[in-house]
Amino acid sequence: MTVTDPAAQKPRVVSGAQPSADSLHLGNYIGAVRNWVQMQDDYETVYFIPDLHAVTVDYRPEELAHRTRVTAAQYIAAGIDPEKSTLFVQSHVPEHAQLAWALNCITGFGEASRMTQFKDKTQRYGNDAATVGLFAYPTLMAADILLYQAGLVPVGEDQRQHLELTRTLAQRFNHRFGETFVVPEGMIVKETAKIYDLQNPTAKMSKSAESPNGLIQLLDDPKVTAKKIKSAVTDAGTEIRFDRENKPGISNLLTIHSTLSGRTIPQLEADYEGRMYGHLKVDLAELVTSFITPLRDRTNELLADPAELDRILAHGAKRAREIASVTFKDAFEKMGFLPLAGGF
Ligand code: TRP
């Protein structure tokens, strides 16, 4: 029997979140990044910043590089260790766009037209503003995943359909050109990890929120954060009880508390028995600010030395390419392209 590297046998995980804001928000952290940090010990983890995806809708070129660095710095500050995980920027690994092209050529026009996120965004931005890039967003995402032969992809519910398409394309490619890609499984974020808008607690916390007061940005001044929590919308009645239907505001505050304090919802309900909404808000403001403050300080420290941050990302891109280039070469050869003598 050959001796294999035990690290190589861990299932590989791939995920990313777009650099489309000046800061990640608490929903990103609780719904995604926190989970990614935990997965580093049990999986071989590949995390990247999908900047190619960020330009599929209107954006400002002068903001993109900064937002990419901020996102990377926040991942690291939150506990993504660039030695344990392969952490990189999508546009630094050209195989993503190259493989996406190949996948475009085995994706049906009708199939891509059925993607609900594309339909929603087209409606939001108007048909003329929707680009071919936006249309091809899911095939680029499939390339992101398939290049790394990922077994598992942790994503939010809104990405479920894109993941299904990824699986379909992997199977189609394998069937047509021969066994090439691992068919990945989705790992959809649980409802309990969903954080809602503080001002509108039936809507998911999102950077496109109507009011900035509903959004806890991880780079906000902690005083601002405390204020936002204290002015969160609450519900009729006085009882502190988890009830998504009838008490969406209080349920959201309890969820945030539970994810940061580690106390279960029933424990919290018992803790707050007979106490008022205000008590919960005061405690939660304290809990969130003491969580956010070191994270913000570490992020700012990393951003203060952009050259070092860029070196970390270059190191990540190099590691990523070692995996991606092998898959890419195999896929293109199977498709029948003439290999470049001497390699790319
Ligand atoms: N589309 C994902 C989102 O908006 C981001 C993304 C791009 C992604 N490529 C990916 C997530 C590959 C997981 C794997 O959330």
Given 10, 84, 119, 121, which residue is catalytic?
A: 121
Q: Residue 320 C-alpha to ligand 1 middle, in angstroms?
A: 16
Contacts 24+ apart (CB under 8 A), 233-240: 233/198, 233/199, 233/200, 233/201, 234/277, 238/276, 238/277, 240/268, 240/269, 240/272, 240/273, 240/275, 240/276, 240/277, 240/280
Probe target for ligand 1 pocket from 12, 18, 167, with the most ligand atoms within 8 Å of CB: 18
> Which amino acid does the sequence have at 318?
K
pLDDT, position 243: 94
Q: Residue 163 C-alpha to ligand 1 middle, in angstroms?
A: 9
Measured by CA distance, the residue closest to atom 8 of ligand 1 is 16
Tokens of 212: 């900035």
Q: What is the pLDDT of residues 3-33, one digit of tens each?
A: 455 555 789 999 999 888 899 999 999 989 9
Which whole-number Å values give the CA distances from 285 to 121, 167, 259, 279, in the listed order?
34, 42, 14, 10
Tell which residue, 155, 149, 152, 151, has the closest CA to residue 53. Answer: 155
The string of DSSP codes covering 135-184 is HTHHHHHHHHHHTTT-SEEEE-GGGHHHHHHHHHHHHHHHHHH-S----P
Probe target for ligand 1 pocket from 53, 93, 99, with the most ligand atoms within 8 Å of CB: 53
Q: Tell me: pLDDT of 244 over 50.
A: yes
Dist CA 251 CA 260 (whole Å): 14
Q: What angle do CA 228, 232, 234 make, to 5 degrees?
A: 170
Q: Which residues contact ligand 1 via a Cβ below 6 A?
A: 14-18, 50, 53, 141, 144-145, 153, 155, 159
Measured by CA distance, the residue closest to atom 2 of ligand 1 is 17
- What is the CA 46 to chain-centroid distance, rounded? 12
Measured by CA distance, the residue closest to atom 14 of ligand 1 is 15
The mean per-residue pLDDT over the stretch 218-229 comes to 96
Number of Cβ atoms within 10 Å of the Cβ of 21: 20
Tokens of 293: 């403050």
Query: Which DSSP symbol is given to 190?
Result: P
Probe target for ligand 1 pocket from 71, 116, 141, 206, with the most ligand atoms within 8 Å of CB: 141
207 in active site:
yes
Measured by CA distance, the residue closest to atom 5 of ligand 1 is 17
Instruction: Specify the length of the chain in residues.
Output: 344
pLDDT, position 6: 52
Which whole-number Å values give the CA distances from 243 to 235, 240, 251, 252, 279, in the listed order?
10, 9, 6, 9, 18
Instruction: Find out whether 152 and 13 touch, Cβ atoms under 8 Å.
Output: yes
121 in active site:
yes
Helix (H) or strand (E) holding 46: strand 44-49
What is the pLDDT of the chain when averaged over all its residues? 94
pLDDT, position 1: 39
Dist CA 216 CA 228 (whole Å): 8
The mean per-residue pLDDT over the stretch 317-330 comes to 98
Q: What is the pLDDT of residues 95-138, one digit of tens each?
A: 999 999 999 999 999 999 999 999 988 888 787 778 999 999 99
Tell which residue, 181, 183, 182, 184, has the closest CA to residue 334. Answer: 181
Tokens of 248: 């969406």
329 in active site:
no
Least confident of 23-32, 84-93, 170-179: 23-32
Query: Which DSSP symbol is given to 130?
Result: -
pTM higher than the cut 0.85: yes
290's CB contacts (< 8 A; 6+ apart) are none
pLDDT, position 126: 80
